[in-house]
Structure 1
Amino acid sequence: MTTSTTPTTPATSAAANTSATPAAAPADHGLFTTGEPVSSWTVTTALPVSYQVRFTPHLLDPADPALARAGGPAGRRLVVVEARVHELYGDRIHRYFLARRVAYELCVLPAHERVKDMESVFRVAEQMDRFGISRRGEPVIAMGGGVLMDVVGLACSLYRRSTPFVRVPTTLIGLVDAGVGAKTGVNFGRHKNRLGTYHPATATLLDPAFLATLDHRHLSNGMAEILKVALIKDRRLFELLDAHGPDLVAERFQGPTAGTEVLTRAVHGMLEELQPNLWEHRLERSMDYGHSFSPTVEMRALPELLHGEAVCLDMALTTVLAARRALLDLEQRERVLALMRRLRLPVFHPLMEPDTLGDALTDTVRHRDGRQRLPLPVGIGDGCFVDDLTPAELAAAAADLEELSCAPR
């Protein structure tokens, strides 16, 4: 971190408005300038951020040192594992660290939206404390889906104000979305991810082999976040999903289809948008597509909807909104909705009604600093932002979507 501090002296003349750094004198340690006491400072800091996201096949192969060395030299590791992942991979995780001669301890944690809260964060912090984790040299390893990684990431950001961690996403939505950014967060009240920090993992290791044990619903759930990238910025990715998406779900990304290109384009597209705006100082974010109405709908529907399913409902609605504004034609609208169905994703839900959607938009406006900044698709593979969506237009689009969802196909 580089830091500069410029003391400002009280204004006694016009010349006093000129900023200057006073020379340090042995007696006053730089606190006084020409006899005037310094009473105001401006502190400017720059914190360079660098983290690695990489595909690492065969991650649990004891011959591969990547997991043991991620985030620092091999040493002790606290590994926080989602309960279901431990059922499926616990023995392999044990064998891996034993073979690599790494002292480790496993913390098995239930992780889903209903326990995505501060109590889960405290459980991780207690394990970190009990383990006696060092300040910088023993990164925590988080193995699981997006909820698990968010919980561990928030705990690490709070513990000693900054403890490094490594993400190992084991779900599709974690691999292409939750695992690659800087944000952590948990739910608060009826609000999704209302408490959180910016604390990127030191490294994210992506191994598509974990998808082999994922059920088809959770694969479809992750496909929604891939479709988000395709619709708002990557026409080629949309064409790949249209041609191969259902097969990729059926074969769990383990077959000969175009899974590698789909995954790499999705991750690249996410990082391309996140990197120049990692702390979200600019609130027009294309990756907010599908996340304007979905947080409210998802939380009110719990436990019925998965995150990606709620995101798809949002994208279906905004696709219809865009078509009503002639930002895409009816043929493109139908093609988008048809692909959602083929990916086994919902395009309508009873909560997509004016009161809920109005509440969702109101909350989104607060979240985006008083403006809608609503991403809408322009054709397939491009997008724009609007600030003038009205309740009447929103209600009409929801009615259109309901009608389209009921129409014979």
Structure 2
Amino acid sequence: MTAESIPKPDSLHGAEQPRNRTWHMRASKVVSYEVVLLAGLLDPSQPALAVACSPDGGGPGRQLIVIDSTVYALYGRRIGAYFAARGVEHEFCVVEAHESVKSMDAVFEIVASMDAFGVPRRREPVLAVGGGVLTDLVGLATSLYRRSTPYIRVPTTLIGMVDAAVGAKTGVNFRGHKNRLGTYHPSAVTLIDPGFLATLDPQHIRNGLAEILKIALVKDASLFTLLAEHGGRLVKERMQSGDSDDRGAAGAEVIRLAIQGMLEELQPNLWEHQLQRLVDFGHSFSPRIEMEALPELLHGEAVCVDMAFSAVLAYRRGLLDDNDLSRILRVMNDLGLPTWHPVCTPDLMAEALEETVKHRDGRQLLPLPESIGGARFVDDVTRAELDAALAEIRRISGSAGALAAMSGSRGA
């Protein structure tokens, strides 16, 4: 931080201020956090969780665990046994955590538990165990409590493991708008154990695979190939080991590549000072789609509807050829993901883009896939293009044989 005496001619009163009465503050904050992929997190012999929750190395202490109610029913006893085995006094704050209740009321509920537990300023990070909604809620609560307290994330859903719990953002919905309120507050450590996925509903596996597909389409063609070859089976087997090492390795590699790709994009632009972001692919129209379709569509499913629509926009601009578009839609179908939804009216899609323009400081900055594994940003999509692409994806989604007839349909 520096303090400087500088002239300030453009004062509120239009007169130059005397020297030595104006100070210019500059400060920088180094941010560092870990994302760790490991197995057997709740095995009492595995120290990773206990070490993360005791940053000063002080050994057994106290632990507030904020946990999703469904996750608590499945894993609460094991989590309690883990901390008991290590002599850690612990208390659970069990909350309902899904998109329909992702609000400041839920944040205040968590803050009340933190206050009752007596969470200190730095020594006892709050432990967040659950999906992306839960980790977002705890992240926002801890960013506000005493103007920033540390927390640890243990995501239990695939979308949390590869997306929601590896970045810096927190957020809640407000007045029907997705994540309208939020902060940047990364956890000190995110611990990712794919074993949690064994009890996850297949719909939530597909939900996470949509965010993985996002990375594959605009950044990593090899990841797309893995999804094309193994995607349907990975849903069925919940990303767990199959009948052979090769089959088991596919799920682990898909998760690893997805996390790697996401972190590569986030690191140089963690605070989003640059609004031209590859990871916004699938997130230009989906916020409005998701909130309109609640509770029918999960976040990743709305993202996939957006990606399918954006792929058709790209196809009609010549950024994708017939084979590219066919492969993309086929993988979405193999993963059991939607490519269209009835809430997607022409007016809604136009309004969604208008909201995105506001979010991106007056520009579209719309990432569209260019071949598979690359992307181009566009800033000039018209209402006529939106309407034509929507009619096209609706036709394709409603007819299994329509894709084969697409050759030559690009234009207008």
Instruction: Name the TM tier (shorter chain).
Output: over 0.9
For 1:9 and 1:356, how far apart are their aligned partners in 2? 50
Counterpart for residue 178 of structure 1 = 164
**Residues 10 and 38, structure 1, Cα contact 8 Å, conserved in 2:** no
Give the drift of 1:39.
2.4
For 1:238 and 1:91, how far apart are their aligned partners in 2? 38
**Residues 145 and 171, structure 1, Cα contact 8 Å, conserved in 2:** yes
Give the drift of 1:60.
0.4
Give the drift of 1:10.
5.9
Question: Where do residues 379-394 of structure 1 align in structure 2 (5 Å cutoff)?
Answer: 379-394=371-386
Give CA deviations for 1:359-378 in whole Å, capped at 9, x if unaligned. Answer: 10000000000000000000
**Residues 72 and 94, structure 2, Cα contact 8 Å, conserved in 1:** yes
**Residues 157 and 205, structure 2, Cα contact 8 Å, conserved in 1:** yes
Which one-letter code corresponds to 2:152 in the other structure? V
Residue in structure 2 matching 1:8, options 6, 9, 13: 6
Percent of aligned pairs with the same residue? Answer: 58
Counterpart for residue 28 of structure 1 = none
2:17 counterpart of 1:39? no
Question: Where do residues 9-408 of structure 1 align in structure 2 (5 Å cutoff)?
Answer: 9=7, 38-71=20-53, 72=55, 73=57, 74=59, 75-256=61-242, 257=247, 258-408=250-400
**Residues 372 and 387, structure 1, Cα contact 8 Å, conserved in 2:** yes
For 1:408 and 1:109, how far apart are their aligned partners in 2? 42
Larger Rg computed on CA atoms: 1
Alignment TM-score, normalising by the size of structure 1: 0.92
Which one-letter code corresponds to 1:379 in the other structure? S
Q: Describe the shift of the 1:396–1:135 C-alpha distance in structure 2 as closer, same or farther (beyond 3 A).
A: same
Which one-letter code corresponds to 1:269 in the other structure? G
Which one-letter code corresponds to 1:134 in the other structure? P
For 1:170 and 1:66, how far apart are their aligned partners in 2? 16
Q: Which moved more, 1:67-76 or 1:380-389?
A: 67-76
**Residues 6 and 19, structure 2, Cα contact 8 Å, conserved in 1:** no
Alignment TM-score, normalising by the size of structure 2: 0.92
By percentage of residues, which structure has more strand? Answer: 1
Determine helix, strand or coil for the equivalent of 1:311.
Answer: helix
For 2:85 and 2:146, how far apart are their aligned partners in 1? 31
CA RMSD, 1 decimal: 1.2
For 1:82 and 1:308, how far apart are their aligned partners in 2? 19
**Residues 248 and 255, structure 1, Cα contact 8 Å, conserved in 2:** no
For 1:64 and 1:175, how far apart are their aligned partners in 2? 19
**Residues 10 and 39, structure 1, Cα contact 8 Å, conserved in 2:** no
Give the drift of 1:6.
1.5
For 1:42 and 1:200, how far apart are their aligned partners in 2? 28
For 1:9 and 1:277, how far apart are their aligned partners in 2? 33
Give CA deviations for 1:134-191 in whole Å, capped at 9, x if unaligned. Answer: 1001000000000000000000000000000000000000000001000000000010
Give the drift of 1:7.
2.0
In the alignment, structure 2 segments of 5+ residues that lack a partner are 10-16, 402-412
Give the drift of 1:77.
1.1
For 2:132 and 2:307, how far apart are their aligned partners in 1? 20
In the alignment, structure 1 segments of 5+ residues that lack a partner are 12-31
For 1:353 and 1:388, how far apart are their aligned partners in 2? 20
